[in-house]
Structure 1
Amino acid sequence: MINVYRLPLIASFVLLGACASPSKSVQVQKQAQCPISLQAGQQLILSLPSNPTTGYRWAVREEAAKVLKSLGPEVYSSAENSDLVGGDGHSTWRFQATERGEARLLLTYAQPWDASAEPAETFDCQIRVR
């Protein structure tokens, strides 16, 4: 039989355990947030500044496929308060951590038709899945 006086104590431990569990997703917007450590099943949401009207696009060069699964294509969104054509926005990718290990997630920001030019920006991040 459960002691009625201990129920609040048991409930507080259950709630404390729920608070300690990791969130279902990790949002990353800057290189400074790397390296990234995830648990299997957690989602990684990567959002980088982008303006495709300039001809520059982010391209995934190494997608860490051995530890991450892509959850769909890149999604571009413009700033909420911007009514300007050609205004800045963000490109967003969603991944899910699949299995333990380490891998590199590498993206470059360049004009795809100019293969000889260096990328304007690079996002290079080590991913660890526990």
Structure 2
Amino acid sequence: MSVVRLILPASLTLLTACAQQPRHNIELENPSQCPMSLSVGQTITLQLPTNPSTGYRWLLQNPGASVLRSLGPEVYSSSQETGVIGAAGQSTWRFQARTPGAGHLMLVLQQPWAPEVPPAQTFSCDITVK
């Protein structure tokens, strides 16, 4: 059997698998983009303004676990332009649509040691995965 006969079917199988996986990343920056519809395999990058030096942090209240999978912990980045210690930055969260269905993603901005105090802000988004 020739090498071409072996490689051609394998190549077509790989191309088909790649074509079925949505590869684009969705940048989610405000609730006006919600509700959101995703395909299985798509990723969401959620970026929220934050300033940890105030004691307030974005906390994951509802990760939409029925349809989303977290791709790691929160990543904080500060603006290099200001050069000021304690300046505001961004909190980045990444999720991947894992299974068809409906879910709810919710984060709250509050001081972790005072959960009984109402959040200063809430980010809430209904997610549908197809």
Please, what TM-score do these two structures have when normalized by structure 2? 0.80
Alpha-carbon spacing, 1:86–1:43, altered in 2? closer, same or farther (3 Å): same
* 2:22–2:41 Cα contact (<8 Å) kept: no
- The aligned residue for residue 50 of structure 2 is 50
Q: Give the aligned residue type for 1:104.
A: H
Q: Is the aligned partner of 1:110 residue 2:110?
A: yes
Q: Secondary structure of the residue that 1:73 maps to in structure 2? A: coil
Q: Secondary structure of the residue that 1:86 maps to in structure 2? A: coil
- The aligned residue for residue 87 of structure 1 is 87
The two structures, once aligned, show a CA RMSD in angstroms of 1.6
Instruction: Tell me how many residue pairs correspond in the alignment.
Output: 111
Q: Distance in 1 between matches of 2:53 and 2:105?
A: 25
Identity %: 48
Unaligned ranges ≥5, structure 2: 1-18
- The aligned residue for residue 69 of structure 1 is 69
Q: Secondary structure of the residue that 1:53 maps to in structure 2? A: helix
Q: How far apart are 1:115 and its partner, in Å?
A: 2.3
Q: How far apart are 1:116 and its partner, in Å?
A: 2.4
Structure 1 segments (4+ residues) deviating >3 Å: none
Please, what TM-score do these two structures have when normalized by structure 1? 0.80
Deviations 1:100-126 (A, max 9, x none): 111000110001112221100000110
